[in-house]
Amino acid sequence: MSEEEIRQLTDFQINEITEHRIYSRLAALQKNSHNRQVLSELAKEELTHFYTLKKYTGKTPAPQLWKVNRYVWIARLFGLTFGIKLMEKGEDIAQKVYRQWKNEDIQKMATEEEVHEAKLISLIDEEGLNYMSSVVLGLNDALVEFTGALAGYTFALQHPHLVALTGGITGIAAALSMAASEYLSTRAEKENKNAFKASIYTGIAYIITVIVLIAPFVFMKNVYWALGVCLTGALVIIAVFNYYYSIVRSESFKKRFGEMALISLGIAAISFGIGYALRLFTGIEL
């Protein structure tokens, strides 16, 4: 082998031993025995790949500890599935490079990377993901309904603190209503979910969104600037959530973001127009 080929295989080794260390660390942190077993299998597979490559390089490189710590903390902060899938998303390029090699061992490794890891990762049991639909319900309703309401209040009331007060009351009431609806809906459908937990996920998602959206009206004096910041905040929430969702569900970020942003801003524009029309029709000045 040429020096360049050995260098490339050594880089592969570093990647494999780094992922082995990540999976091992995550396995040690798991209280769920099923998740611990899945992660241990992933770690074992990466170590096998490391030693397969060693036959060709004759080297034993160390793992990239900064990368190990990075993904372990991402998994702890944002969830196990998100951390692993984010890491694997970044390794797609490495798998394509594997495919360029005609070596039988490396071709086998590429297949195992694509098939085994995807299969094992899909078996991971993470409670938060089981309630993703409840979070989606809370966020969608808050972003569409509440953004529209704030836009309507902005033109109807024309005072940021009045908008914040009215919006806060409306938002909290709506969050409680949505949480109660999700509780009753989950119980009625008899899904494999805890109805109380489902309602909590929905309520918390709604309230967090409400806080972010009314904050500009609390701290800013110009009601229209506050509305602009509010709508920007809505777009940021949509972007962050849909990025997370697209990673854990392996779906298109652009499509989901575009649909949700268009609906939320469209409803806000319509509500703003309704507020303007009602103000003209009633002749009420505050």
Residue 33 CB neighbours (<10 A): 9
The Cα 203–Cα 151 span in angstroms is 22
| Residue pair 181/173 in contact by the 8 Å Cβ criterion | no
User: At 220, is the secondary structure helix, strand, or coil?
Assistant: coil
**pLDDT tens, per residue, the chain with 286 residues:** 678 878 888 888 898 899 999 999 999 988 888 888 888 988 998 899 899 888 888 889 999 999 999 999 998 888 888 888 888 776 655 656 666 667 777 777 777 777 766 666 766 766 666 677 777 777 777 777 788 788 778 877 788 899 899 988 988 888 888 888 888 887 777 666 788 888 888 888 889 888 999 999 999 989 889 989 988 888 888 888 888 878 877 777 888 788 878 887 787 777 767 766 766 776 655 5
The candidate with the shortest Cα–Cα distance to 237, out of 261, 270, 268, is 261
Supply the pLDDT for residue 126. 65
pLDDT at 67: 92
Overall fold of domain 3-125: Ferritin (1.20.1260)
Would you list the domain boundaries of the chain? 3-125, 131-282
Q: Which of 242, 269, 267 is nearest to 256 (CA)?
A: 242
Contact between 81 and 38 (Cβ < 8 Å): no
For residue 40 the two structure tokens come to 């241990």
Do 199 and 182 meet the contact criterion of CB atoms below 8 Å apart?
A: yes
Instruction: Give the integer Cα–Cα distance in Å for 107 and 90.
Output: 19
Q: What is the pLDDT of residue 229?
A: 92
User: CA–CA separation, 53 vs 10, rounded Å?
Assistant: 8
